[in-house]
Amino acid sequence: MFSEADIVGGVTQLVFQLGAIIIAAWCGGKAFERFKLPTVLGEIVIGVIIGPYLLGHLPFPGFPSGLFPLPAAFPVSRELYSIATIASIVLLFLAGLETDIDAFLRLSFAGPVVAIFGVIFSFVLGDLTGVLCSKFLLGANYGFIHPIPLFLGVISTATSVGISARILSEKKKMDSPEGVTIVSAAVIDDVLGIIILAVVIAMAKSSHIAWGDIGFITLKALGVWLGFTILGIMASGRLSQFLKRFFKDKATIAIICFACALLLSGIFERSGLAMIIGAYVMGLSLSKTDLCFVIHENLSTLQKLLVPVFFCVMGMLVNFKEMASPHILLFGLIYLVIAIVSKIIGCGLAAGMFGFNFRGSMIVGIGMVPRGEVALITAGIGLSAGIIPHDVFSVAVMMTFLTTLITPPILARLAASDKPVFMSNKQIKDERVEIRYKMPNPETANLVLRKTLGTFESNGFYVHRMMMDEIVFQIRRNGTFIVLEFNLQQLTFRCKEQEASFIHTLFYEVIADFEYTIKRLHTLADKEQIGKSIFSSRSKKETSGLDVLGLIPPSAVDVNLKGSTKEEILKELVGLLVRSGQLAYEMREEILKSLLEREATMSTGMQDGIAIPHVKTNAVKDIITAFGVKKEGAEFSSLDKKPSNIFIVTIVPKSSPQPYLQYMAEISKSLISEERRNAILSCKTNRELHDLLVSNA
C-alpha cells in the first residue's frame, strides 16, 4: 500500500525525469542534425548517456540515487516506460495513417516482391544468427524457434522508410523507378514485419511450441490482425462520416480517433498481441479516409513531444558496459553484417527479377537496409515482456543504430548518379498524370494557390501541407487523392487519369472567380479619382519635410530624355539606374519587362505632367530611383489625358519590408508645387537639375 507521500514523491521524480528527457532529447537530436545525421540517432545516444547505466544513477543534491536510479528488475521506472509505450502507440498510429498500400501497389509491381524477399531473407538469417551466436558467444543452446532468435529475426525484418525517403527526396529520386520501389517495399515490409511480430509474440507467450501449436498460433494471430484490419477499413468510412457530423472541431476529431487507437491497442494486448499492432491497424484503417491528414496535423504536436521521449528511453535501456564486452560486441557486429547482407541480397535479387541491373539492384537493396523505429519498438517489447535479455536488446540497438548511421551516405552517393538502373529501357508503370498551370508572376501564383486550396476545401476536400522543404499539399476526399506541388512559376497537380477532368474544371472555376472579382473591383472604386487625389493641392500643407528627391544620385538624373513613347522613356530611365550603379547591367531587361507589365495593368501617368513608374522585384535589395525630364512631353496614358514631362522611376525590393508606400507618397508631395515643377522643367543641365533637387531637400 502506497502512502500519499510515496505517490507525490514518485510523481515529482517523474516530472523531473520527463523535463530532463525532453530537453536532452532535443539537444541530442539537434546535435546529430547539425552533422546531417538522423535526429533519432541523437535521441538514442543521449538516452544512453543520461540513462541509469551511465550518468543517470550518479547521486547529486536532491537525488541521492540519481535522477534515473537503476531498479533491480528493469532499467527505468514503470511510469516512465508507460509514457514511452504511449509514445510508441502515437508513432505507430501515425505510421499507419501514412500507409497507403493500394497507392504503392499501383505505382510499382516490384515493391511487394522486393518486400517479401527482403523479409524472408532477413528473418531467416537473423534467426539463424541468433541461434549460432547465442551458442558460440553466450553459451546458450537455443533452437530455431526459440523466442530469442525469433525476436532477432523479427527485428531484422524492419525497414525505416523515413531514412531512405529523406535521401531519395534530397536527390530528387522519389519518383524514379528505384525510389518508388524502395518506398513501396519499405511500407509493405513494415506491414509484413508487424504480422510476423504478432505471430512471434503469440508463440513466446504460449507454453507449447510444437509445430502444430505454431500453426494454430499463427492462424490465430493472423486472424485477429486481418480481422480487425478488414473490419476497420470497412467501418472507417462510416466512422469518418459520424465524426464529421457530430464534431465540427478538427482537433476534437483527431483526439477521438487517437482514443480509438488506444482502445484497439489495449484489445490487441489482451488478445496476446502487441499494443503497437493495434495502433498500426487503427491508423491503417483511417488512412483511406479524408480524416487522415486532419488527424496527422492535429496530433503533430503530441508526436513532437512524445516520440523523442520514446527514443531517449530506448537508449536508457542499453547497458553500455554490457555492450562493451567482447562477446556482445562481436555478437552485435556479426548481427549487423547479417542484417545488411540479408537485405541487400534478398531485396537485390527480387529487384533483378524485375529488370534492374546490378547498380539498380544495389540501390534498392541498400535503400532497404536502415532499421528504425519499428525495430526499436519490437526490441523494447521483447525486453519489457522478459522475452529477450538485456544483452540481446543491446545487440538489437547496436544493429539499428549502425544501419541507420552508415546507410545514408552510401545511398546518397549511389542515388546522385544518373547512370541507368535497368538492363533495358523497361520502366515501372505509373498510372498518375501531371497537370501543370504556369503562373505569370509570383503575386498571381500566391493568389491562385490560396484560392485553389480554398475551393478544394469548400468542395469537401481535406488539405494537408507536407513537412518538406518544397511546398507540397496532399488533398483528399474519400477515395480521391491529389498531390499539389507549388512554386512561384507554376502549380503542378498529380492525380489519377480519371481525376484530371475534375482538376481542369476546378481550376477553370478558380480563374473565372478571379475574373469576376476583378470586374467587380471597377464598381467599388474610381481609380482615376484616387490617382488625382495623390497630387491634390489640398495635400500641400501635409508634407513631412522629407524630400526623397534629394536622395537621388547625381548620375541618376537626365534633363533631356530622348524617347517619345512609354517604352522608350522607361528604357532610358532603367539606363539611368544602371549608369548610377544602383542596378546591375544584366538585370536591366528584367526590370524593363516588369515595368512594362506594371504599366499594362494600370498606367502610372498621373496628372500635371508627372509619371511615377514603379515596380516590386527580387532583383534589388534596396529602393532605387532615377529622375528624368522631357520638356516637350511624351504620351504616358496619364489621368488628365495630357503628355507627361517629369518621370520618377522607383524599383522596390520584395523581400525587404521597407516603407515604399511612404516613399512614393513623399515623392508625390515633393512635386505638388507648380512653382517647383516649372523650376525642374527650366533646368538646362543634369548638374543644375540635381542641384535643384538637393537644394529643396
DSSP-H helix ranges across 98-160: 101-107, 110-137, 147-157
Distance of CA 219 to the CA centre of its chain: 39
Given this model, what pLDDT does residue 4 score?
Answer: 65
Higher pLDDT, 473 or 118: 118
CA distance 78 to 687: 85
Span between the terminal Cα atoms of the chain, in Å = 86
| Of the listed ranges 42-56, 97-111, 567-581, the one predicted with least confidence | 97-111
C-alpha cell at 633: 512631353
Report the chain's mean pLDDT, rounded to a whole number. Answer: 81
Lowest mean pLDDT among 13-27, 107-121, 614-628: 107-121
Among residues 415, 444, 475, the one where a domain terminates is: 415
Instruction: Say yes or no: 235 and 139 in one domain.
Output: yes
Helix, coil or strand: residue 617 = strand
- Give the model's pLDDT for residue 672: 76
Residue 671 lies in a domain: yes
Amino acid symbol at 211: W
Q: Give pLDDT, residue 104.
A: 47
Residues 6+ apart with CB under 8 A from 59: 65, 66
pLDDT value for 264: 92
Percentage, residues of the chain above pLDDT 90: 19
- The answer on pLDDT for 157 being more than 80 is yes
Do 323 and 175 lie in a common domain? yes
> With bands split at pLDDT 50, 70 and 90, how would you rate the model's confidence at 16?
very high
Which residues make Cβ contacts (< 8 Å) with residue 654, sequence separation at least 6? 442, 616, 617, 618
Q: Are 563 and 634 in contact (CB under 8 A)?
A: yes
Same domain, yes or no: 215 and 324: yes
CATH number of the domain within which 100 lies: 1.20.1530.20
Tens of pLDDT, residue by residue over 221-256, are 777 777 888 888 888 888 888 888 888 788 888 999
Whether residue 576 is predicted with pLDDT greater than 90 in this model: the reply is yes
- Helix %, strand %, coil % for the chain, to 5? 65, 10, 25
410, pLDDT greater than 80: yes
Identify which of 243, 198, 201 has the alpha carbon closest to the alpha carbon of residue 224. Answer: 198
Quote the cell numbers at residue 73. Answer: 528488475
In a domain, 424, yes or no: no
Q: Which of 386, 415, 444 is the last residue of a domain?
A: 415
Average pLDDT over residues 525-530: 55
Q: Do residue 610 and residue 488 come from a single domain? A: no
Residues 623 and 676 reside in one and the same domain = yes
Tell me what the mean pLDDT of segment 582-589 comes to: 89
pLDDT for residue 625 is more than 70: yes
Q: What is the CATH number of the domain that holds 668?
A: 3.40.930.10
Specify the higher pLDDT residue, 569 or 220: 569
In a domain, 127, yes or no: yes
Answer yes or no: do 562 and 440 share one domain: no
**Residue 316 and residue 247 share a domain:** yes
Q: Tell me, what's the pLDDT at 23?
A: 95
Name the least confident of 75-89, 513-527, 529-543: 529-543
Q: Would residue 526 count as lying in a domain?
A: no
State what percent of residues in the chain have pLDDT above 70. Answer: 84
pLDDT of residue 132: 93
Convert the pLDDT of each residue in 412-448 to its tens digit.
788 777 787 777 655 445 456 889 999 887 778 888 8
Q: Indicate whether 523 belongs to any domain.
A: no
Residue 190 and residue 164 in one domain: yes
Assess if residue 522 is contained within a domain. no
So what's the pLDDT on residue 537? Answer: 45
Within a domain: 189:
yes
Counting the structural domains of the chain, the total is 3
- In the prediction, which pLDDT does 543 show? 39
Both 476 and 559 in a single domain?
Answer: no
Please say if the pLDDT value at position 110 is more than 90. Answer: no
For residue 129, the enclosing domain spans 4-415
Tell me which of 257 and 202 has the higher pLDDT: 257
DSSP secondary structure letter of residue 340:
H
3-state secondary structure 450-501: HHHHHHHHHCCCEEEECCCCCEEEEEEECCEEEEEEECCCEEEEEEEHHHHH
Note the pLDDT tens digit of each residue in 315-342.
Answer: 888 887 777 788 889 999 999 999 999 9
Query: What pLDDT shows up at residue 694?
Result: 77
Q: Domain containing 447 — which CATH number?
A: 3.30.160.110
- In angstroms, the CA 51 to CA 204 distance is 28
Tell me the average pLDDT across 556-560. Answer: 92
Q: The whole model's pTM is what?
A: 0.61
Q: Report how far residue 41's alpha carbon sits from residue 163's, in angstroms, rounded to the nearest whole number.
A: 11
Per-residue cell: 306: 512524445
Lowest mean pLDDT among 16-25, 495-504, 665-674: 665-674
The mean per-residue pLDDT over the stretch 568-580 comes to 92
Buried-exposed string 434-452: b where 16+ CB fall within 10 A, e elsewhere: ebebebeeeeebeebbebb
Give the per-residue pLDDT at 177.
Answer: 74
How high is the pLDDT of residue 531?
54
On the question of pLDDT at 532 being above 70, the answer is no
pLDDT score for 107: 44
| Contact assessment for residue 471 and residue 464, using Cβ atoms and an 8 Å cutoff | no
Q: Is residue 421 part of a domain?
A: no
Cα 339-345-346 angle, rounded to 5 deg: 85
Burial of 500 (0-12, 13-18, 19+ CB in 10 A): middle
Pair 216, 110 in one domain: yes
Query: Is residue 183 domain-shared with residue 304, that is, in the same domain?
Result: yes
> pLDDT digits over 358-382, tens only?
888 999 999 899 887 778 888 888 8
Do 452 and 381 belong together in one domain?
no
Q: Of the candidates 516, 546, 562, which is a domain's last residue?
A: 516
